[in-house]
A and B are shown apart, each in its own frame.
Chain A
């Protein structure tokens, strides 16, 4: 261990020499790992954004309960209380017919003038029930047992589709992470093998002088680590730049999409990419070392 610290500067210098001896090939490797990590960074970012969107929409999951208009205010309040008591209900409130009219006018915007063709307010009052999405079936079942309810409107089709899209993005994310991992391991282990092959004579000499295997191998491990960290940094910088522009583009035409704060997304993405590049660099180098040794 003492040797390791004494030789820290030597290991770095050796790693630099190994990189220098095959400079062009190492530069290409750095750029290719950088591009692979860039794809990974963008997929991870999309993954997080979609998860955030789905979560935000799920938090807005609600069902509308239309009650019999002939029942009095007291009965409505009683119904409200009963609904509130159902497991899976987060919030309950009555939306009066005027509020329902105003909401629709807000949604229609300039087209709201179509509502003026009606002599009376065409909307009915209803009870807005915010629920925990996973309890939707239970809530609907319980509502079916209550009296005074005329009609229940749920958005199950939309919510189910959202859940499916999130699932597909999730699977795609895992697939890309696996593909990136394998590609990086192959590239790095190949570079390390090449480095060992190019340095086989000094390696043999060190062995004959009695150098321990870790002493011989460590500079090559460092090369793998430095290349993937370099690739990771390149990818993080490119991805941060790309995300900035994606956010600017989305802010205008798609303002209703609840994007996570950019700073948090970028810093999270940088941590993940750099950690993955470090892990893959070390593992790839170890693969390269062990395959070179077995040959």
Chain B
């Protein structure tokens, strides 16, 4: 599903964000990436969704090499990923339902099915009663759940969640992690970044990557 060999990322301003990244993620796996701010967690996720390109090494996501100059293939890759962005990136002026549907409109899904998938996803995140509320009227936690619904409604092969526990107390953070990991199945892998490693203590059957200054260390949890 993801295969990275000696991947590195240097931004145009010269900052080395990632170095020597070697990892392999298989379908059905849950992977936590932890590390302090600036350790390279978000940069790594950006590489996985084709928002940045490795400047060193080679990276394949869902069988697609992540390289510059292959816009159509990268677009196809992004269509197969369910991203939950750190700042949610919900589109204002639209309802929760519209936001969830928007993530699927270009995926060859008939209009009837589109609405059903969006409705089901909102039920899964417990927000069916807010389906027709404008996203700017939702609380932080509700907005986050809409962002998760948008990601999972697409039935992606890979869910990438960037700092979904940021700004949440421990109880709510654990609930969000539980919700996200519930979408793991035989075909779907879930990758979650968090700067709070204590939240994943006791997690079983999950991989843990600890990031530090752009480098990674593997740890087996549970």
- Interchain CA distance A204-B46 in the complex, whole Å: 13
- Give 20 CB contacts A-B under 8 Å: A3-B105, A3-B106, A3-B108, A6-B110, A6-B111, A7-B105, A7-B106, A21-B93, A202-B91, A205-B89, A205-B91, A207-B78, A208-B85, A208-B89, A209-B83, A210-B75, A210-B78, A212-B106, A215-B105, A215-B106
Q: Which residues of A contact B110 (CB under 8 A)?
A: 6
Nearest chain A CB to B220's CB is how many angstroms away?
31
0 or 1 for each of A10-23: is its CB under 8 Å from B? (1 = yes): 10000001001100
Say whether B76 faces chain A, with CB atoms less than 8 Å apart: yes
Q: Mostly helix, strand, loop or mixed at chain B's interface?
A: loop
Q: Which residues of A contact B154 (CB under 8 A)?
A: 209
Chain A, residue nearest B79 (CB)? A210
A211 with B106: CB separation less than 8 A: yes
Q: Which residues of B contact A212 (CB under 8 A)?
A: 75, 106
B123-156 residues with Cβ-Cβ distance < 8 A to A are: 154
Say whether A2 faces chain B, with CB atoms less than 8 Å apart: yes
What count of chain A residues pass the 8 Å CB interface test? 20
Q: Known contacts A2-B108, A201-B89; is A208 also within 8 Å of B49 by CB? A: yes
What count of chain B residues pass the 8 Å CB interface test? 25
Say whether A77 faces chain B, with CB atoms less than 8 Å apart: no
B79 with A17: CB separation less than 8 A: no
- Interchain CA distance A3-B107 in the complex, whole Å: 8
Say whether A206 faces chain B, with CB atoms less than 8 Å apart: yes
- Interchain CA distance A200-B110 in the complex, whole Å: 28
Q: With A3-B106, A10-B105, A208-B51 given, can you name 14 additional A-B contacts, CB distance below 8 Å?
A: A2-B108, A6-B105, A6-B110, A7-B105, A201-B89, A205-B89, A206-B102, A208-B49, A208-B83, A209-B154, A210-B77, A210-B81, A212-B75, A215-B105
Task: Name which of A6, A17, A210, A215 has the most chain B CB atoms within 10 A of its CB.
Answer: A210
A210 with B76: CB separation less than 8 A: yes
Say whether B40 faces chain A, with CB atoms less than 8 Å apart: no
0 or 1 for each of B160-188: is its CB under 8 Å from A? (1 = yes): 00000000000000000000000000000
Chain A, residue nearest B81 (CB)? A210
Q: Which residues of B contact A21 (CB under 8 A)?
A: 93
- Interchain CA distance A211-B105 in the complex, whole Å: 8
Nearest chain A CB to B106's CB is how many angstroms away?
5
B78 with A209: CB separation less than 8 A: yes
Q: Which residues of A contact B76 (CB under 8 A)?
A: 210
Chain A, residue nearest B46 (CB)? A208
Nearest chain B CB to A1's CB is how many angstroms away?
11
The 9 closest A-B pairs by CB, nearest first: A210-B78, A210-B79, A205-B89, A202-B91, A215-B106, A211-B106, A210-B75, A209-B103, A6-B111
- Interchain CA distance A20-B94 in the complex, whole Å: 13
Q: Mostly helix, strand, loop or mixed at chain A's interface?
A: helix
- Interchain CA distance A210-B76 in the complex, whole Å: 6
Contact residues of A with B, CB < 8 Å?
Answer: 2-3, 6-7, 10, 17, 20-21, 201-202, 204-212, 215
A-B contact count (CB 8 A): 51
Contact residues of B with A, CB < 8 Å?
Answer: 49, 51, 75-81, 83, 85, 89, 91-94, 102-103, 105-106, 108, 110-111, 114, 154
- Interchain CA distance A210-B114 in the complex, whole Å: 16
Q: Which residues of B contact A205 (CB under 8 A)?
A: 85, 89, 91
- Interchain CA distance A205-B103 in the complex, whole Å: 9
Nearest chain B CB to A221's CB is how many angstroms away?
16
- Interchain CA distance A210-B62 in the complex, whole Å: 14
Q: Which residues of A contact B94 (CB under 8 A)?
A: 17
Nearest chain A CB to B86's CB is how many angstroms away?
12
Q: Which residues of A contact B78 (CB under 8 A)?
A: 207-210
- Interchain CA distance A7-B77 in the complex, whole Å: 22
- Interchain CA distance A204-B89 in the complex, whole Å: 9
- Interchain CA distance A17-B93 in the complex, whole Å: 8
Q: Which residues of B contact A210 (CB under 8 A)?
A: 75-81, 106
Task: Name which of A202, A205, A206, A209 has the most chain B CB atoms within 10 A of its CB.
Answer: A209
Q: Which residues of B contact A17 (CB under 8 A)?
A: 93-94
Chain A, residue nearest B92 (CB)? A202
Q: Which residues of B contact A204 (CB under 8 A)?
A: 89
Nearest chain A CB to B187's CB is how many angstroms away?
18
Q: Which residues of A contact B92 (CB under 8 A)?
A: 202
Q: Which residues of A contact B85 (CB under 8 A)?
A: 205, 208
- Interchain CA distance A202-B81 in the complex, whole Å: 18
Q: Which residues of A contact B81 (CB under 8 A)?
A: 210
Q: Which residues of B contact A209 (CB under 8 A)?
A: 78-79, 83, 102-103, 154
Q: Which residues of B contact A208 (CB under 8 A)?
A: 49, 51, 78, 83, 85, 89
Nearest chain B CB to A209's CB is how many angstroms away?
5
Chain B, residue nearest A18 (CB)? B93
Chain A, residue nearest B94 (CB)? A17
